[in-house]
Amino acid sequence: MNEMEPEESKIDRLLRASMAAPAPELPADFERRVMLGVQRNERALEQGRRILLVGYSLTSAFASAVVMRGQGLDWAVTSGLILGPIALVGAAWWVWRANSTSLRRGAPSP
Amino acid sequence: MDGDAELVARAQRGDERAFEALVARYSTKVFRLAVSILGQEFVPEAEDVAQEVFLKIHRAITTFRSEAEFGSWVYRITFNEAVNLKARVRYKSPHLNEAALVGAAALGPGPQSQAEAAMRDQVIEDCIQTLPEVYQSALRLYYWMDEGVSDVARMLGVPENTAKSYLHRARRLLSHMLKDKGYDNE
């Protein structure tokens, strides 16, 4: 900045004098507030995903039931064909969750 | 201390501590960049901008590609966010900074020179407000926040020589404006 013209040096001094006030600082709890906002967003997103998944499941189960009944299948077979895969996915999820929890318990603390 | 790339990779895998470390690393610069664009009367809004920037980054961090520089990405989001907010708050009356007024009253040799200095500062601030956003930001970062030219350049996402030229042109424009208003820059 030492190649300034005299006119520019004057305005440089003026700006330094005019902006001598201390720069503002962020509040001490800023990071905590950001992380709270992040967690709030995550929860809202998770809730949205669940609502979408439940909505999709109910709609597809209903549509499947209508189609299967239309093909002449009785209620017992229709229910079995709809609830069977759901039970299978539920069981797989339960096993996966149980495994990951026990792995986490066994892991050394950071 | 982990580098940005390492922290970003961990944050992309869902590690909240890594994201918190990134917030701690960039929060001051993000806030300063936002203040430099919005102006000194809009510090609370700049705080909101900083918070919104980090929430946006958290939502989009999985889309960030590691070959780009994380800091540039953060500053670009901040700049856009602050400029958008500025367009919305342009006609809103600024907050009265009582602390600054009290501070100004406590300084200076006499009431007349204090009043003159306050008036001069107001005229300068009014002139700065009419400059293009990048010039305003460069001036405030450099003179008010004491950022070096290289930091100003990084925060504005331009080469160092461009940042120097922003400062140079902003000073010249200000000098002409002040002359037009009857100030001889002394």
Yes or no: say if B31 and B46 are a contact pair by the CB < 8 Å rule: yes
Residues B65 and B141 in one domain: no
Instruction: Report if residue B186 sits inside a domain.
Output: no
Nearest chain B alpha carbon to A42: B59
Q: Is A11 on the interface with B (CB under 8 A)?
A: yes
Residue B147 has pLDDT above 60, yes or no: yes
Contact A35 B23 (CB under 8 A): yes
Please name the amino acid found at residue A14: L
Instruction: For residues B102 and B143, state if they share a domain.
Output: yes
Tokens of A59: 């709609």
Mutation test of the interface with chain A: which of B10, B22, B23, B74, choosing the one with the most A Cβ atoms within 10 A?
Answer: B23
Sign of CA dihedral B42, B43, B48, B53: positive
Q: Does A35 touch chain B (CB under 8 A)?
A: yes
Q: CA B23 to CA B11: how far, in whole Å?
A: 11
* Contacts B143 to A, Cβ<8 Å: 15-16, 18-19
Complex ipTM over 0.90: no
Q: Is residue B29 part of a domain?
A: yes
Q: Are residue B106 and residue B78 in the same domain, yes or no?
A: no
Domain ranges within chain A, ordered by starting residue:
30-106
Domain match, B49 and B27 both: yes
Distance of alpha carbon B35 from alpha carbon B38, whole angstroms = 5
Q: Judge whether A28 is closer than 8 Å to chain B, CB to CB.
A: no
Closest CB to A31 among B24, B125, B149? B24
Would you call A23 an interface residue with chain B, using a CB distance cutoff of 8 Å? yes
CA distance B51 to chain A (A): 6
Whether the CB-CB separation of B100 and B41 falls below 8 Å is answered with no
Q: Environment class of residue B141 by beta-carbon count within 10 Å: exposed (0-12), middle (13-18) or buried (19+)?
A: buried
Domain boundary among the residues B60, B89, B118 is at B89
**Are B122 and B163 members of one domain?**
yes
Could you count the other beta carbons within 10 Å of the beta carbon of residue B137? 28
Residues in A closer than 8 angstroms to B185, CB to CB, are: 7, 10-11, 14
| Side-chain half-sphere CA neighbours of A40 within 13 A | 7
Label residue B121 by pLDDT band (50, 70, 90).
confident
Give the global pTM: 0.75
Domain final residue, candidates B70, B89, B108:
B89
The answer to whether B125 faces chain A, any CB pair under 8 Å, is yes
Cross-chain Cβ contact A23/B168 below 8 Å? no
Q: How far apart are CA B154 and CA B12, in angstroms?
A: 24
Which of B143, B141, B169 lies closest to B153, judged by CA? B141
In the predicted model, what is the mean pLDDT of residues B29-49?
A: 92
Query: With bands split at pLDDT 50, 70 and 90, how would you rate the model's confidence at B91?
Result: low
Distances in Å between the Cα of A69 and the Cα atoms of A55, A56, A63, A65, A80 are 21, 20, 10, 6, 13
Query: How far apart are alpha carbons B17 and B1 in whole angstroms?
Result: 13
Which has the minimum average pLDDT: B32-41, B72-81, B84-93?
B84-93
Residues of A in contact with B58 (CB under 8 A): 38, 41
Task: Please give the residue range of the domain that contains residue B48.
Answer: 4-89
Assess whether B8 and B84 both reside in one domain.
Answer: yes
Based on its alpha-carbon atoms, the radius of gyration of chain B, rounded to whole angstroms, reads 19
Closest residue in A to B161 (Cα) is A1
Distance, in Å, from the CA atom of B125 to the CA atom of B27, rounded to the nearest integer, reads: 25
Q: Do B47 and A16 touch (CB under 8 A)?
A: no
Is pLDDT of B92 > 80? no
Q: What is the pLDDT of residues A36-89, one digit of tens each?
A: 999 999 899 999 999 999 999 899 999 999 999 999 999 999 999 999 998 999
- Closest-CA residue in chain B for A35? B20
| Cβ proximity of B34 and A26 under 8 Å | no
